[in-house]
């Protein structure tokens, strides 16, 4: 072999082992670097013109198991999904308080009934009355606060989604840039192991946010898609956008998360955006969406159902009794009732005027089934009272006023002939003597007959949005009252209205129950679909109440029933207005019709602690019959169950993640013993090549000396 060939051979060994020593040193230096995959030098014989010419570097490769890497990314996504949920549930549990705390919701409700029990023993004592009102208000304030904090948590998810997407977009751009660098380096025959390590780090960051699949191309670049196949990074760069709302309530409709191809330099969209919702299956982003759109909404609606039933049951009792002395006026809440509508009440009610000594001045006994509409009832009552009092209905608000200062008014059912419309007495239905007020009653048992006119005036539209189980918008539907023959309830829920086969009828089956409540059940072919009301410009009888407010067409409204609950202000400031006395239906004019110190009203309130109430389906809780305290316990149990479920899933997936991390480390991690032995091998090989080069140098010196 010529000396020049020997020199080439020795130099190739020097260069190869120098690279191997550099790679080994890098492995040792990164022994404690999380996620680092060790590098491995590949070599091959160098052949020139059919002659062996030493060795050459064929590549520096990362030692990885693609299957383990994929499984690890999936586990990372799952851990982050449930970790996010667990953090939010921990915050919510902090708001709800410990069950044994005096400030917890359940303890405060017990204190309400404790004060009512004390009142029943001395019903005329003003201090006891004030205590009942204060404890009730404290409980309502706590419910308002929790509902507000649930909505604050939903708002916080919006802010976190916005922050998460910024990080995700940065990592998508990083992958896109690294792909270009790897492509360029590969084309020049350069070493890409370091770039692949950076790429792996970026992909790991992405997998924390969203579930991904990685396809390695022949040019060593990485093509990134979601698990569903939606491209994130290929030859184009994509970015995600989301506009987080500032103020969030139960009715808030969040904008979608969208993705579009963008210009790599300006990051401006160059294609139409696509809704990401159906493509987000795990990761912190999925956890945030589930918390925001499912779990917190479920709890909000359950709390709203509790708030609605607490207010309704307390108001039912309070409307059945009267304060002593009776107030000079009773003014109801805003309803959708007009004077020309049928009464739809059964039973007999009395409208009475009493003096300051609780003696009857005048009364009107009305069998509501005998009157065609409210105008007829009002006319008859005013005739019977003979000027001592006036009943009126203005824009859906009923009022009864005493004509003489010092006199009071009473509305009471006749014993044994109790009135009923939609499950509520006359006074209760109109809210004539409510104890608790709220922005949204959350009770949608309207008492309308299916053939009753809704008095819509042939005008108004309702815009609906339908979403699937993943929150993806399927369609929007407009029900135009002016363009359709919609007058009665039957028309509204019929095929011309809500049940139109080309509209909502393709997703829901609408019904109408005996209490006048519209029901909407997803078709068996459309499981998990939900309904939202985008806008509603209808007006029932000019009362200002639209169809959505009257019938609760948008389920999110239920959450608002636990918002701004409050004891009626005039009662809170004057405990004597707390209604405890029973009106005597048999009293004649001039006789005493009520007595102060009557404890029957307090006893009726006390019975609410154990009496059975029919609760509608709300959130994860199905319709059921329980006491108010039992349902409150069910709400708290459900909140705790969701928290434990998220914590357990996080723990299970974290254990799997640790196992996969260990297995990956066994394959890709740095073994110091192995690297140190390699260091010795490569050092010796380097020294051997250097020794050959030195020997050749000596031979050249000898040859030159003899010339």
What the block records as the tokens of 604 is: 């009726």
* Helices H / strands E in the chain, number of each: 15, 23
User: Does pLDDT of 190 surpass 60?
Assistant: yes
Beta bridge partners of 537: none
Q: Kindly report the CA angle at 293 between 287 and 298, in degrees rounded to 5?
A: 110
Backbone angles phi, psi at 555, to 5 degrees: -60, -25
493 neighbors 499 (Cβ within 8 angstroms): yes
What the block records as the tokens of 700 is: 């050249």
Q: How confident is the model at residue 668 (pLDDT cuts 50, 70, 90)?
A: low
157 CB contacts (<8 Å, ≥6 apart)? 88, 288, 289, 291, 292, 296
Q: For residue 420, give the DSSP letter.
A: B
Query: Averaged over 202-210, what is the pLDDT?
Result: 93
User: Does pLDDT of 1 surpass 60?
Assistant: no
Q: What is the pLDDT of residue 102?
A: 78
Q: How confident is the model at residue 557 (pLDDT cuts 50, 70, 90)?
A: confident
Q: How confident is the model at residue 150 (pLDDT cuts 50, 70, 90)?
A: very high
Q: For residue 256, give the DSSP letter.
A: P
Q: How confident is the model at residue 289 (pLDDT cuts 50, 70, 90)?
A: very high
Q: How confident is the model at residue 64 (pLDDT cuts 50, 70, 90)?
A: low
What is the end-to-end Cα distance of the chain in Å, rounded? 21
Q: How confident is the model at residue 68 (pLDDT cuts 50, 70, 90)?
A: confident
Q: Cα–Cα distance between 225 and 215 in angstroms, integer?
A: 8
Q: What is the pLDDT of residue 282?
A: 93
Q: Which residue has the higher pLDDT, 435 or 200?
A: 435
Task: Out of 197-206, 263-272, 392-401, pick the least confident.
Answer: 197-206
Q: What is the pLDDT of residue 130?
A: 96
Q: What is the pLDDT of residue 457?
A: 87
Q: What is the pLDDT of residue 315?
A: 97
pLDDT in tens, 612-636: 999 988 888 889 999 999 999 999 9
User: Does pLDDT of 23 surpass 80?
Assistant: no
Diameter of the chain measured on Cα atoms: 151
* Nearest by Cα to 232 from 276, 201, 270: 276
Q: Cα–Cα distance between 77 and 73 in angstroms, integer?
A: 6
SS3 of 621-678: the string is: ECCEEECHHHHHHHHHHHHHHHHHHHHHHHHHHHHHHHHHHHHHHHHHCCCHHHHHHH
396 neighbors 338 (Cβ within 8 angstroms): yes
What the block records as the tokens of 463 is: 């815009």
What the block records as the tokens of 149 is: 């904090």
Query: Averaged over 445-473, what is the pLDDT?
Result: 91
pLDDT in tens, 255-267: 889 999 999 999 9
Task: Out of 371-385, 549-563, 618-632, pick the least confident.
Answer: 549-563
Task: Out of 39-53, 114-128, 325-339, pick the least confident.
Answer: 39-53
User: Does pLDDT of 19 surpass 90?
Assistant: no
């Amino acid at each position: 072999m010529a000396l020049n060939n020997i020199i080439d051979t020795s130099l190739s060994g020097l260069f190869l082992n120098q690279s191997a020593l550099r790679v080994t040193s890098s492995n040792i230096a990164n022994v404690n670097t999380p996620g680092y995959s060790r590098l491995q030098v590949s070599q091959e014989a160098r052949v020139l013109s059919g002659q062996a010419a030493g060795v050459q570097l064929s590549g520096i490769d990362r030692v990885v198991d693609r299957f383990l890497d994929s499984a690890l990314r999936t586990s990372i996504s799952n851990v982050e999904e449930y970790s996010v949920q667990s953090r939010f549930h921990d915050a919510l549990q902090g708001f709800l308080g410990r069950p044994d705390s005096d400030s917890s919701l359940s303890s405060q409700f017990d204190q309400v009934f404790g004060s009512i029990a004390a009142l029943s023993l001395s019903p005329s004592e003003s201090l006891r009355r004030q205590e009942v009102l204060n404890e009730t208000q404290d409980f309502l304030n706590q419910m308002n606060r929790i509902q507000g904090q649930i909505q604050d948590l939903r708002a916080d998810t919006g802010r976190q989604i916005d922050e998460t997407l910024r990080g995700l977009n940065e990592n998508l751009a990083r992958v896109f840039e690294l792909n270009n660098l790897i492509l360029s380096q590969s084309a020049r025959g350069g070493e890409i192991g370091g770039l692949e390590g950076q790429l792996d780090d970026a992909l790991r960051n992405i997998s924390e946010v969203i579930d991904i699949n990685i396809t390695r191309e022949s040019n060593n670049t990485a093509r990134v898609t979601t698990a569903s196949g939606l491209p994130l990074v290929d030859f184009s760069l994509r970015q995600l956008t989301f506009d987080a709302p500032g103020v969030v309530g139960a009715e808030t409709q969040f904008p979608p998360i969208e993705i579009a191809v963008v210009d790599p330099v300006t990051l401006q969209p160059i294609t139409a955006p696509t809704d990401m919702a159906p493509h987000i299956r795990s990761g912190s982003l999925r956890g945030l969406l589930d918390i925001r759109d499912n779990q917190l909404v479920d709890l909000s609606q359950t709390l709203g159902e509790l708030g609605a039933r607490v207010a309704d049951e307390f108001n039912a009792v309070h409307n059945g009794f009267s304060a002593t002395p009776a107030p000079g006026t009773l003014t109801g809440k805003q309803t959708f009732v007009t004077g020309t509508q049928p009464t739809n009440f059964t039973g007999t009610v009395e409208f009475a005027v009493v003096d300051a000594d609780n003696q009857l001045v005048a009364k009107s006994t009305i069998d509501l089934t005998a009157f065609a509409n409210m105008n007829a009832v009002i006319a008859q009552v005013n005739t019977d009272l003979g000027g001592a009092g006036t009943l009126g209905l203005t824009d859906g608000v009923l009022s009864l006023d005493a004509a003489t200062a010092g006199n009071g008014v009473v509305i009471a059912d006749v014993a044994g002939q109790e009135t009923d419309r939609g499950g509520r007495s006359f006074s209760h239905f109109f809210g004539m003597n409510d104890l608790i007020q709220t922005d949204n009653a959350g009770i949608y048992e309207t008492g309308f007959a299916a053939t009753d006119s809704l008095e819509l005036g042939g005008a108004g539209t309702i815009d609906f949005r339908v979403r699937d189980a993943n929150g993806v918008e399927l369609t929007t539907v407009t029900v135009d009252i002016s363009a359709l023959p919609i007058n009665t309830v039957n028309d509204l829920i019929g095929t011309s209205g809500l049940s139109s086969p080309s509209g909502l009828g393709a997703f829901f089956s609408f019904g109408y129950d005996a209490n006048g409540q519209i029901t909407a059940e997803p078709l068996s072919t459309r499981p998990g679909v939900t309904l939202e009301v985008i806008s509603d410009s209808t007006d029932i009888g000019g009362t200002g109440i639209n169809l959505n407010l009257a019938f609760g067409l948008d389920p999110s409204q239920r959450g608002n029933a636990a918002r701004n609950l409050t004891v009626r202000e005039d009662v809170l400031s004057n405990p004597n207005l707390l209604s405890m006395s029973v009106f005597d239906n048999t009293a004649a004019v001039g006789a005493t019709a009520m007595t102060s110190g009557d404890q029957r009203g307090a006893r009726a309130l006390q019975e609410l602690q154990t009496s059975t109430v029919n609760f509608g389906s709300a959130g994860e809780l199905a319709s059921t019959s329980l006491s108010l305290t039992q349902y409150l316990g069910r709400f708290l149990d459900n909140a705790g169950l969701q928290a434990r479920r998220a914590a357990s899933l996080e723990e299970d997936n974290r254990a799997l993640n640790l196992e996969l991390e260990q297995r990956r480390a066994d394959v890709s991690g740095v073994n110091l013993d192995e690297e140190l032995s390699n260091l010795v091998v490569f050092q010796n090989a380097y020294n051997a090549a250097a020794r050959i080069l030195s020997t050749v140098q000596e031979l050249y010196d000898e040859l030159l000396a003899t010339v």
